[in-house]
Structure 1
Amino acid sequence: METKITAAIVEDEQGNRENLLRMVETYCPQIRISAICSSVTEARSILPETKPDILFLDIRLGDDTGFSLLESLPDISFEVIFTTAYDSYAIQAIRFSALDYLLKPIDPEELVHAVDKAVQVILRKQENKRMQNLLQNVRALDKQKKIALSVADKVEFVEIGSIIRCESESNYTTFYLKSGEKLIVSKTLKEFDELLTPYNFLRVHQSHLINLDEIRSFIKTDGGYIRMKDGSTVSISRQRRNYVLEVLKQL
């Protein structure tokens, strides 16, 4: 599945916001705009929730500045591309810091170049995180190992022991976690069956893969089904029923 990069725009003038949005959609199809903010105050509340990969940030925002926004954020995990109509001391500071900026009116070629540079940095970060996860898995106990799940526009690293069950529908698999969170992945259950079965997971139905550590009870009525610790119930297919019962007897 192609990696989609998300971006946010912080710009106080509506015309500039709309123009930048159109340009990104036209010239940078790999980018999806996930948030548009018109002030520092709005951006402070929205950015930590949306967590964009790239931030298009105007330097002058009314009586405030993009720099004050960055100073106020607890974590800056995104790449910043400054946008400004003012070629002044701020641009000199940005140049000294080897950061990207776009002068208004924005040139399409310069936009594409700045975005391509940011995307390469982001992809390297993602690859480094996957490698770190690999090394952690080599050293970790089974239930502390993490599986990388490509969810929408990001990759989630989930501890195997935190998974209650997996449920498939067509070519999608939903992971149900102890936290109550649900993660939908665009892969079939068969692939996760092969990955997770060695870690005490059991395929009890064509559409259901369960963590045996999370079983609460086996209900014999209605053809037999399993109740998990989170209160959910899972059907057992007729073809797998005898095998599942043998496995459950050994728990």
Structure 2
Amino acid sequence: MQPDAIRVLVVDDEPDSYAIINLMLSRQHEHPVEICLHAIDLSQAQSLIQRWHPDWIIVDLDLTEAHGFSIVELLSDGDHVELTFITAHEPEAADILVFSEMHLLQKPLNKKALMDLLDDIRNHQAYQDKYIRLKTFKHNIIQSQDLPLLAVPAQQSWKSFSMSEILYISHQEGLALLGLHDTRLLTEKSFQDYLRLFTRQTGFIQIHPQHVVQSIHISDVDTDRLEIIMNNGITLPVSAHKLQTLLRMLS
């Protein structure tokens, strides 16, 4: 066994799905897999998790006796396990997973998508505080009425922030710079990735090609200078064609 080989657990009540994943993983040699386990339900999954401590769990959302998200009930808050979900029927589940940097794969499974995901897991293997993604995911599915928590890759580690803490997102050399109340954090996510995520959230607006802001954190708008002042004192430019949209949002 290679020392960096990973243990995979597939939780799916369709044997063909497990067989396909197992075959795909066994036929690639770039990222060694020690073992690919199979559980048909959460009870079997619990036993295998306790015995084998898998590094990567792939869960079907459409289990017969439970929703796949229930897998989190089997995991402790400190677990560093990678979670991936698969589905034939619930593509909208990706909307909640994106906040925790977790992935949803559509059935029928695509080998390239699975291998890309394995590459991503390997690229983040050395990151500190990997438990944060599971923590944010648990919060977002249990405390669904609260603003979601966001898992952020930065400085070879994972960090967590409530969406309410984020004043603005700016473009810096292609990456996303998060503006918080008392600091700024350069993430390892592209600005375009966060642009798509944040502009779909109520209260966020793109005011400039390089800036997205959360409107509740704007303290003043200077219409003559085409600038806004955030409530932490940071000044950001506003594009002329965005000014009226911003003023209507604030009125």
TM-score for both structures, normalised by structure 1: 0.46
Structure with the higher fraction of residues in helix conformation: 1
Larger-gyration structure (1/2) = 1
